[in-house]
Amino acid sequence: MPTMPTSAFTLRDPVYPADAEAIARVRSAADPSWPVTAEQVLHYHTHRDQNLFDTEVLAEQGGCVVAAGSIGHDTFSHEEWRYWGHLNVHPDFRGQGIGAALYDELLRWVQARGAREIRTMLSDLPHDAPGVRFLTARGFVPAWERYESSLHTRDVDLHAFGPLLERVAAGGIALKSLAELVGDPERNRWLYELDWILFQDVPMGLTLTRRTFEQWVREELDDPTLRPELSFVAIDPGRSDPLTGPYIGYSTIGWNPAGGYAYIGITGVLREYRGRGIAKALKVAAMRSLAAAGGGEIKTFNDSPNKAMLRMNEALGFRRTATRTRYELRLDGQE
């Protein structure tokens, strides 16, 4: 996007699918560590939960979309009075009051709905420094830390984990990719139940709310960035649970097409199967599959209290690259 001379800007609602490419361009420029494609923008718009409030506003200058903001209910921790927001201004168009105007418009929407809290997340990477100053000036305070770590498959001796995989297999646990299980008519339902059980054990600092089965499938399994051939399920063939069947753990891998890297969505194992190296084996299976497909970088994100997963990732070769902080603004005067 070329730099343009300062001129008046206007705020408007987005028009889909026409604005998807422009929104993706602005978001990618504002946050180069997590770029997005038009397809991802469209997928979210099309598949978001229509029962939850969500609104978007664009800023346009000289016929170009130069900023995009959104605010809505938190899918994972839904309370009518709590909202999650994002605001991105293209770096070439900052310093003109565009971000402030977008913020005021989004704030007006949720205050009219009785909002008591707004949350958002920014990193300690240099490109997010202006955003941190923006939030701090408006009363947002840091409330939670999530650590980002990464590795490249070329830097890891994956053969060294052979004994781990053999030990898990000898314990009667099979590792199958989501792609291998696509023909299983119960796959999606068992994964849905397993996902809910596992997420409740993740220390995220949130009171989780459950999505419907249909919404979960739309957001998770139908996500265009999911790589089923790199995502693995741990199976105990001798188990037949009414909710999760023989599925006892899983780990998902997505691929950021704009960034050119993989990322881990969730990794977890049922409590009674922990301590046997299964979660670690799930990640190794994914790393080996990615290496066999040409290799690449893998990013993972873990909340600061999740010491066990942080230690496991370090043992696998992941190294800390950033801290992502959740910022919160109370609108009801409470701390």
One digit per residue, the tens of pLDDT, for the chain of length 335 reads 444 445 699 999 999 999 999 999 999 999 999 999 999 999 999 999 999 999 999 999 999 999 999 999 998 899 999 999 999 999 999 999 999 999 999 999 999 999 999 999 999 999 999 999 999 999 999 999 999 999 999 999 999 999 999 999 999 999 999 999 999 999 999 999 999 999 999 888 888 999 999 999 999 999 999 999 999 999 999 999 999 999 999 999 999 999 999 999 999 999 999 999 999 999 999 999 999 999 999 999 999 999 999 999 999 999 999 999 999 999 987 65
Question: Does residue 128 share a domain with residue 22?
Answer: yes
Rounded to 5°, angle at Cα 40 from 34 and 41: 95
- Residue 171 is classified by DSSP as T
Residue 3 lies in a domain: no
Asked if 267 and 279 touch (Cβ cutoff 8 Å), the reply is yes
Question: Does residue 166 share a domain with residue 75?
Answer: no
What distance lies between CA 245 and its chain's CA centroid? 27
Residue 332 lies in a domain: no
Stated pTM of the model: 0.92
Q: Which two tokens stand for residue 24?
A: 């993706």
Question: Of all residues in the chain, what percent are helix, strand and coil, respectively (each to 5)?
Answer: 35, 30, 35
What distance lies between CA 335 and its chain's CA centroid? 27
Paired with 303 in beta bridges are: 146
3-state secondary structure of 175: strand
What is residue 334's predicted lDDT score, i.e. its pLDDT? 64
Question: Does residue 196 share a domain with residue 117?
Answer: no
Alpha-helical (H) ranges within the chain are 20-30, 38-47, 98-111, 129-137, 162-170, 187-199, 213-216, 278-292, 307-316
Asked if 328 and 121 touch (Cβ cutoff 8 Å), the reply is no
Domain total of the chain? 2
Question: Does residue 135 share a domain with residue 43?
Answer: yes
Query: How many residues does this entry show for the chain?
Result: 335
What is residue 207's predicted lDDT score, i.e. its pLDDT? 86
Asked if 117 and 110 touch (Cβ cutoff 8 Å), the reply is no
Residue 29 lies in a domain: yes
Asked if 187 and 228 touch (Cβ cutoff 8 Å), the reply is no
What's the CA gap between 274 and 268, in Å, rounded? 9
What is residue 2's predicted lDDT score, i.e. its pLDDT? 41
Residue 334 lies in a domain: no
Residue 273 lies in a domain: yes
User: What's 70's domain CATH number?
Assistant: 3.40.630.30
Residue 198 lies in a domain: yes
Question: Does residue 301 share a domain with residue 194?
Answer: yes
Residue 83 lies in a domain: yes
Question: Does residue 134 share a domain with residue 153?
Answer: no
- State the residue range of the domain holding 88: 9-139
Owner of token pair 């009414």: 242
Query: How far, in Å, are 66, 189, 260, 266 from residue 200 at the CA level?
Result: 39, 17, 30, 12
What's the CA gap between 290 and 242, in Å, rounded? 33
Torsion of CA 141, 311, 286, 270, to 10 degrees: -90
What's the CA gap between 282 and 280, in Å, rounded? 5
Question: Does residue 163 share a domain with residue 289?
Answer: yes
What is residue 3's predicted lDDT score, i.e. its pLDDT? 43
Question: Does residue 237 share a domain with residue 219?
Answer: yes
Query: How far, in Å, are 107, 252, 297, 334 from residue 114 at the CA level?
Result: 11, 37, 43, 14
Question: Does residue 168 share a domain with residue 131?
Answer: no
What is residue 332's predicted lDDT score, i.e. its pLDDT? 82
Q: Are strands 141-152 and 319-330 parallel, antiparallel or unpaired?
A: antiparallel
What is residue 228's predicted lDDT score, i.e. its pLDDT? 97
Residue where one domain finishes, among candidates 139, 160, 178: 139
Query: How far, in Å, are 71, 72, 119, 276 from residue 83 at the CA level?
Result: 6, 5, 6, 39
Asked if 243 and 210 touch (Cβ cutoff 8 Å), the reply is no
Q: Which two tokens stand for residue 146?
A: 């999530």
In the chain the first and final C-alpha atoms are separated, in Å, by 41
Question: Does residue 301 share a domain with residue 164?
Answer: yes
Question: Does residue 277 share a domain with residue 153?
Answer: yes
Question: Does residue 126 share a domain with residue 224?
Answer: no
Residue where one domain finishes, among candidates 139, 164, 184: 139
Residue where one domain finishes, among candidates 110, 139, 168: 139
Residue 85 lies in a domain: yes
